[in-house]
């Protein structure tokens, strides 16, 4: 199998991730709920995940990292804190995944929020200046995917924040965390939503939200926290305020190990490897004249290792099916839960086939995928 669907979930996971999950499953796991040694070990496992994420992504205060089951919940949690009212405005890019787009759409319907979209320019990139132009007196938040899960385009997050000024920036790093060197996110983003099972190389069921000091928070659920046990009110301090119920200790053990792998290898080395894969694949696609790459003009330095394309004469679903059947290549066809992005790129509703490379792919696999596309392209032209 050649696995090129790391944008959906990364595979394989480093051996240390499997070992860490198994080790966590092999002992009791009740973090912060008891005073005995195994409970403390479970709490330390969760703490290690927090600490590693803080180190990799540049979160200055670990107490402001709240774990969630995934990035979608993290984004909903972030939005929930703002208590939006009718007439408030939120800016997002037009490359958002549904994890951002659907909550924003719902806010327009339930709270009367006005949603302003910033479209990519001809170069396939969103530009900070366009976020600046979208600001109105009522703008209360900007929500931006750091890297598109369709085109791989990287949003200039630091420059966007400079354009926003005091308006908080919620950055969705689902496709960039672990792939880009992001050791200073806390210096410009105000809220960071992440998932554990993609570039961070952890298990599914892990994710979280970092929130800058001073920003409002409001839980999506209340209940057990292991703290303030005497009270019927849920605690108001972080992270307990946003972490009702026992955390996914087994998943977080794997996430801590996944981030350990990246920290040991070095985020810059991971990025360099993925850029090599990207360059190899895009270069080899030069021999596939019937391929149309979404955002072909986006330079490699402004992409994560994700390439979506269509092949003349092929539907995206048929192409992905043949890649799997004849070549053992796993890709993802369709709209990638990002209808806005496909509309912006002119590929709605047919979508495209996405090739998303990861930390364990080789240049040979990228070449194999390009060769397969060349052969399938000839078949219908």
Partner 1 sequence: MDSGSGEIILVFASNTRILSAEDFLEERSAPFVLIPVPKEVNPNCGLAISLEEGDAEAVLKVLAEAGLLPESVYYRRGDEFSPREFPWV
Binding site for partner 1 (CB under 8 A): 31-36, 40, 43-44, 46-47, 50-51, 61-63, 226-230, 235, 237-240
Closer Cβ to partner 1, 110 or 231, answer by number: 231
In angstroms, give the least distance from the CB of 247 to partner 1.
10
Query: d(Cα 327, Cα 234) in Å, to the nearest integer?
Result: 53
CB atoms within 10 A of CB 106: 13
> Hey, CA dihedral for 274, 277, 280, 284, is it positive or negative?
negative
Closer Cβ to partner 1, 81 or 239, answer by number: 239
Closer Cβ to partner 1, 66 or 277, answer by number: 66
In angstroms, give the least distance from the CB of 62 to partner 1.
6
Query: d(Cα 265, Cα 276) in Å, to the nearest integer?
Result: 16
In angstroms, give the least distance from the CB of 189 to partner 1.
20
Q: What are phi and psi of 209, to 5 degrees?
A: -140, 130
Closer Cβ to partner 1, 35 or 346, answer by number: 35
In angstroms, give the least distance from the CB of 53 to partner 1.
13
Closer Cβ to partner 1, 130 or 243, answer by number: 243
Query: d(Cα 167, Cα 161) in Å, to the nearest integer?
Result: 8
In angstroms, give the least distance from the CB of 139 to partner 1.
32
Q: What is the DSSP secondary-structure string of 285-323?
A: GGG-TTEEETTTTS-GGGB-SEEEEEETT--HHHHHHHH
Q: Is the peptide bond before 349 cis (omega within 30 degrees of 0)?
A: yes
């Amino acid at each position: 199998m050649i696995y090129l669907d790391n944008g959906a979930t990364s595979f394989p996971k480093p051996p240390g991730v499997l070992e860490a999950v198994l080790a966590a499953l092999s002992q009791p796991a009740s973090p912060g709920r008891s005073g005995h040694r195994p409970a403390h070990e479970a709490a330390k496992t969760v703490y290690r995940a927090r600490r590693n994420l803080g180190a990799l992504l540049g979160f200055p205060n670990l107490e402001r990292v709240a774990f969630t089951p995934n990035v979608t919940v993290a984004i909903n949690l972030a939005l929930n804190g703002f208590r939006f009212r009718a007439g408030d405005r939120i800016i997002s890019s037009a490359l958002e995944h549904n994890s951002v787009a659907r909550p924003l759409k719902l806010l327009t319907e339930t709270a009367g929020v006005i949603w302003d979209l910033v479209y990519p320019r001809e170069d396939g990139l969103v530009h900070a200046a366009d976020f600046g132009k979208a600001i109105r007196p009522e703008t209360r938040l900007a929500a931006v995917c750091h890297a598109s899960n369709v085109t791989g385009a990287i949003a200039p997050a630091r420059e966007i924040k400079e354009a926003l000024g005091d308006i908080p920036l919620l950055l969705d790093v689902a496709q960039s965390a672990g792939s880009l060197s992001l050791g200073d996110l806390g210096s410009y983003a105000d809220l960071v939503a992440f998932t554990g099972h993609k570039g961070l190389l952890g298990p599914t069921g892990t994710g979280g939200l970092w929130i800058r000091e001073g920003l409002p928070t409001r839980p999506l659920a209340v209940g057990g926290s292991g703290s303030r046990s005497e009270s019927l009110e849920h605690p108001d301090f972080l992270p307990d305020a946003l972490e009702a119920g026992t955390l996914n200790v087994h998943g977080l053990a794997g996430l801590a190990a996944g981030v350990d792998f990246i920290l040991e290898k070095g985020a810059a080395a991971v990025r360099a490897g993925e850029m090599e894969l990207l360059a190899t694949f895009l270069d080899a696609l030069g021999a596939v004249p019937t391929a149309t790459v979404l955002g072909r003009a986006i330079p490699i330095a402004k992409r994560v290792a994700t390439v979506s394309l269509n092949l003349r004469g092929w539907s995206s679903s048929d192409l992905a099916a043949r890649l799997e059947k004849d070549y053992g290549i796993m890709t993802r066809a369709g709209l990638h839960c990002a209808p806005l992005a496909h509309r912006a790129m002119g590929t709605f509703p047919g979508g495209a086939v996405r090739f998303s490379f990861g930390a364990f792919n080789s240049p040979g696999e990228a070449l194999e995928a390009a060769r397969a596309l060349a052969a399938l392209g000839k078949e219908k032209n």
